[in-house]
């Protein structure tokens, strides 16, 4: 019986661990991370989109470099029922100045913008929960980043 | 009932997240293994179902009761770009294709040290990205085979198998699919290493990718009308390089990573000489509510610095691809 336990438990744990990590790996591509894309625009998945396990209540920084003359849409999502809101801030990667805080926009979970010059940005994300039991637990967090070349406006074409 | 279920899920979640090594299970844990078998089974079932996320999404916002964000302790994630994206971005500078600058495949079997095997796996991955993007079908499979062999020598299993080889072969005529398959391959490899707690290996491979990608770009810059613009694009990689440097520094306790860091230091020193024109970064909003991140750093092109950077990258690349037993 002991031998049975010793063999079976690690096997099951590894299998479930694998299934769990697989779930998180592509989480940013899942429907839970769907972001609205204008129908007339062709946005592609940016290579620095990522999913990671994060601790509830603790800020996680995704250090990205966004290339200039491109439009971006950043969407954030978390895969656990404990979370209540996701705080999302865009911080200058060099000066650490806060450029955007979704707290000012009712914690909206996606944000579209143009980047003029290539620059490092810190995308700071905090999954927040009201439940005591959830504090310090880990959840899968996805950062969806889509990009497209800057759309020329009538004035820029002149 | 939901509370018990939640407790089980939290418990197993904790076990998995902290990557408890099964071999190191204590006697105490073994006594509880039956409970955990059930819990792991439940979790497996739940994860296969995809979970019900609607509950969380329907919750109304109420920020006033939420705990404040801790500003002191933060986790940092480095989502580094794939070699395919890097080469693609660098290819926008209008580089031509020159197979003579690739690292020859026959050198692969001569890499014996752990470090050279890992770093050169990265070099070959970047070369593979380059031949794919430049649509050189002759070399695509050859380089894939080298990557597969070196991956096995680095004890990386599960992402460079025969099935993938066949998919690449079947898609040789379709460049978009090939790039997409290759990206998937790279993501899988990174995930395998990350999940196996082998981030030091990941850092060494990515170092090879980064050096080779920049090397290929630098070697393709011609003295044409786009010269200044192309140099600027290459020097703009400084920001990416800085992020990578920060990432690899996390593993400097590893002797191989430390040696690799010494090499990267040479490049970092040159890149730090790059003159940047900084303006305050702000997000503006136009009348259509469209937001733009304005300002930031603009790289000022300097031929002397570029020349120094080019010499250094050639030297570093020469060092990492040379056959050495050290």
Calculate the average pLDDT of chain B: 75
Domains of chain A are: 2-149 (2.60.120.380)
Task: For A85-132, write each residue's pLDDT tens digit.
Answer: 899 999 999 899 999 999 999 999 999 999 998 889 999 999 988 777
Whether A55 and A77 have beta carbons less than 8 Å apart is answered as no
- pTM for this entry: 0.74
Q: Which two tokens stand for residue A6?
A: 């010793």
Quick one: which H or E segment has residue B292? Answer: strand B291-300
Strands A60-66 and A119-128 come out as antiparallel
Contact B55 A81 (CB under 8 A): yes
Report whether pLDDT(B11) > 80.
no
Specify whether the backbone of B106 is left (phi greater than 0), alpha (psi in -120 to 50) or beta. alpha
Please give the helix or strand (H or E) that residue B33 lies within, else none: helix B33-49
Is B180 in a helix, a strand, or coil?
Answer: helix
Q: How far apart are CA B282 and CA A100, in angstroms?
A: 9
Please give the Cα distance from B187 to B82 (Å, whole number): 8
Instruction: State the pLDDT at residue A83.
Output: 67
Q: Give the nearest partner residue to A25 out of B191, B278, B291, using CB atoms.
A: B191
Residues of A within 8 A of B81 (CB-CB) are: 47-48, 65
Q: Are B228 and B190 in contact (CB under 8 A)?
A: no
Question: In angstroms, rounded to a whole number, what is the distance separating the alpha carbons of residues B25 and B36?
Answer: 12
Q: Which of A148, A146, A141, A121 is nearest to A50 (CA)?
A: A141
Name the pLDDT band for B267 (thresholds 50, 70, 90): very high
Q: What is the DSSP letter of B68?
A: P
pLDDT digits (tens, 9 = 90+) for B60-73: 333 333 444 444 45
Q: Are B197 and B187 in contact (CB under 8 A)?
A: no
Torsional sign, CA B263, B265, B266, B272: positive
Q: How many CB atoms lie within 10 A of CB B61?
A: 11
Confidence of residue B37 (pLDDT cuts 50, 70, 90): very low
Smallest CA–CA distance, residue B106 to chain A, in Å, is 31
Find where tokens 């592509």 sit. Answer: A26
Of B183, B159, B156, give the one whose Cα is nearest residue B171: B183
pLDDT for B95: 61
Q: How confident is the model at residue B6 (pLDDT cuts 50, 70, 90)?
A: very low
Among the partner residues B17, B191, B243, nearest to A65 by beta-carbon distance:
B243
The size of the A-B interface in CB pairs under 8 A is 206
For B29, phi and psi rounded to 5 degrees?
-65, -35
Complex prediction ipTM: 0.77
Phi, psi of B296 (to 5 degrees): 105, -155
Within 8 A of B69 by CB-CB distance, chain A residues are 57, 59, 87, 126, 128
Using an 8 Å Cβ cutoff, are A48 and A82 in contact?
Answer: no
Residue A33 above 80 pLDDT? yes
Q: Strand A85-92 relative to strand A119-128: parallel, antiparallel, unpaired?
A: antiparallel
* CA gap A120, A67 in Å, rounded: 9
Q: Which residues contact A67 (CB under 8 A, 6 or more apart)?
A: A115, A118, A147, B89, B236
**Nearest CB neighbour to B16, from listed A20, A103, A118:** A20
Q: Does the distance separating the beta carbons of B17 and A63 come in below 8 Å?
A: no
């Amino acid at each position: 019986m002991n031998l049975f336990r010793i063999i079976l438990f690690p096997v099951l744990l590894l299998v479930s661990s694998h299934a769990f990590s697989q779930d998180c790996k592509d989480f940013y591509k899942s429907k839970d991370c769907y972001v609205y894309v204008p129908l007339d625009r062709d946005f592609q998945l940016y290579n620095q989109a990522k999913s990671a396990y994060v601790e509830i209540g603790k800020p996680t920084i995704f250090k990205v470099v966004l290339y200039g003359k491109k439009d971006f849409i950043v969407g954030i999502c978390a895969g656990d029922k404990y979370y209540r809101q996701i705080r999302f801030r865009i911080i200058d990667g060099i000066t650490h100045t806060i450029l955007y805080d979704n707290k000012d926009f009712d914690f909206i979970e996606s944000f579209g913008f143009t980047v003029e010059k290539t620059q490092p940005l810190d995308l700071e994300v905090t999954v927040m929960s009201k439940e005591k039991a959830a504090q310090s637990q880990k959840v899968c967090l996805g950062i969806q980043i889509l990009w497209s070349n800057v759309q020329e406006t009538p004035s820029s074409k002149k | 009932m939901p509370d018990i279920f939640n407790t089980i899920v939290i418990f197993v979640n904790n076990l998995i997240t902290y990557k408890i090594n099964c071999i190191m299970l204590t006697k105490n844990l073994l006594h509880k293994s039956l409970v955990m078998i059930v819990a792991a089974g439940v979790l497996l079932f739940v994860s296969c179902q995809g979970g019900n996320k609607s509950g969380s999404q329907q919750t109304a916002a109420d920020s006033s009761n939420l705990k404040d964000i801790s500003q002191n302790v933060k986790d940092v994630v480095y989502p580094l770009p794939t070699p395919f994206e890097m080469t693609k971005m660098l290819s926008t500078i209008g580089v031509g294709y020159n197979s003579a600058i690739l690292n020859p495949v026959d050198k692969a079997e001569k890499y014996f040290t752990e470090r050279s095997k890992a770093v050169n796996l990265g070099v070959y991955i970047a070369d593979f990205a380059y031949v794919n993007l430049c649509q050189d079908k002759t070399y695509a499979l050859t380089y894939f085979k080298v990557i597969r062999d070196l991956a096995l020598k680095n004890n990386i299993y599960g992402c460079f198998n025969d099935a993938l080889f066949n998919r690449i072969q079947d898609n040789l005529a379709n460049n978009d699919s090939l790039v997409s398959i290759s990206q998937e391959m790279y993501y899988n490899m990174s995930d395998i290493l990350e999940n196996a707690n082998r981030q030091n290996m990941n850092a060494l491979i990515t170092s090879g990718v980064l050096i080779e990608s920049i090397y290929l770009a630098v070697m393709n810059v011609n003295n044409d009308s786009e010269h200044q613009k192309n140099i600027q694009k290459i020097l703009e990689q400084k920001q990416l390089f800085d992020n990578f440097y920060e990432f690899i520094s996390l593993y400097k306790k590893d002797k191989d990573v430390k040696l690799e860091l010494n090499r990267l230091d040479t490049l970092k020193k040159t890149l730090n000489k790059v003159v940047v024109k900084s303006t305050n970064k702000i997000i503006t909003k136009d009348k259509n509510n469209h937001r733009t991140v304005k300002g930031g750093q603009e790289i000022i092109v300097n031929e002397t610095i570029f020349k120094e950077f080019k010499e250094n990258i050639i030297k570093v690349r020469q060092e990492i691809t040379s056959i050495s037993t050290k």
